[in-house]
A and B are shown apart, each in its own frame.
Chain A
Amino acid sequence: MKHAFAILAVLLAAMFAYAPVLIVGAPYESTMGLVQKIFYFHVPSWIVMFASAFVCGTASGVVLFTRSRSADAIAQAAAELAVVFGVIGLITGPLWARKAWGLWWQWDARLTSALVMWLIFSAYLLLRKYGGPGSEKLAAAVGLFGMANVPFVYWSVNLWRTVHPTTNVVPTLQPSMGFPFLWCALAFIGLYGLMLAARVRLERRRAELDALYLQLEDNL
């Protein structure tokens, strides 16, 4: 397991090291120019955020029905990663918008729903940290609610009038832009897997520490 972790880490480091070469080599977009290159990190960060929301929601569902501690550890780790990758998406997006639209932020359907989803997972983490004993069930419901938001956020650009590019952009990318995008997306997904594994390990070790504390109290 440790070997697989190390091999994946080296592979991802190589992929991220080569990503700038591909991004610089990709052609400029006709209307947005250079600023469109933010897309190669912005969209993968949201893909991973959505994936993490699904992992958290699914694990939360398992927690609600089975009270599995291992599913709870996965849900907590995935919620934290959803917030981390959401931060990247929420910062890189306005940097792109400033040049492409002339403003940092627009309260339209896509941007607002994405912010709301990020706030839901932030609420999940706050609930776990300050909710006290028994908060895991309420947090699991919040995780499920967060996951239910993903389709609305994804299709918001097609359902409502918005300045944000539609979901049609990625499937219709030219190969010269599509390959660097695919490379970055795979690198982000791999990085997510690595981070999730490390974060779940942290949660399991914490559970072991709690068990040891209880054992120590029993002995004293």
Chain B
Amino acid sequence: MTIDSRLRAWVFAIAVFVGPSSLIAQQPPPAATDGFVPVESLGLQEQLPAAPLVMTAYAVAWVVVFGYLWSIWQRLGRVERDILEIRRRVEGAPRR
């Protein structure tokens, strides 16, 4: 087998294996635009109004802050009541 015939064999093999795969990989060009779409007919995501999102964000911040302050208030009140109760029992209990 001469060098030329080997080369021809390699070119043939590459053409057989790579050619069809490159044809498969080639994507069809995108379709040409037939016309412009008015903004009213786009999906809901594109028309999403910002105001409810902004109001929700601020409302969440206030609810979390006030909720947490209320929780501290409640917990402190409960602990203060318990302290009074236990102190009364400590003072009233006979010493060993």
Q: Which residues of A contact B (CB under 8 A)?
A: 20, 33-35, 37-38, 41-42, 45, 84, 87-88, 91-92, 95-96, 98-99, 102, 191, 195, 198-199, 201-202, 205-206, 208-209, 212-213, 215-216, 218-220
Contact = CB atoms under 8 A, between A and B. Distances in A.
B80 A91 contact: no
A216 B68 contact: no
B79 A205 contact: yes
A142 to B, nearest CB: 21
Main SS of chain A's interface residues?
A: helix
B62 to A, nearest CB: 9
Interface residues of B, number: 30
Contacts of B72: 195, 198-199, 202
A209 B64 contact: no
A88 B86 contact: no
Contacts, number: 86
A24 to B, nearest CB: 10
Interface string B5-30: 00000000000000000000000000
B interface: dominant SS: helix
B79 to A, nearest CB: 5
Contacts of B86: 209, 212-213, 216
B68 A99 contact: no
B75 A202 contact: yes
A35 B50 contact: yes
A92 B90 contact: no
Nearest to B94: A219
A195 B75 CA distance: 13
Interface in B48-64: 48, 50-51, 53-54, 56-58, 60-61, 64
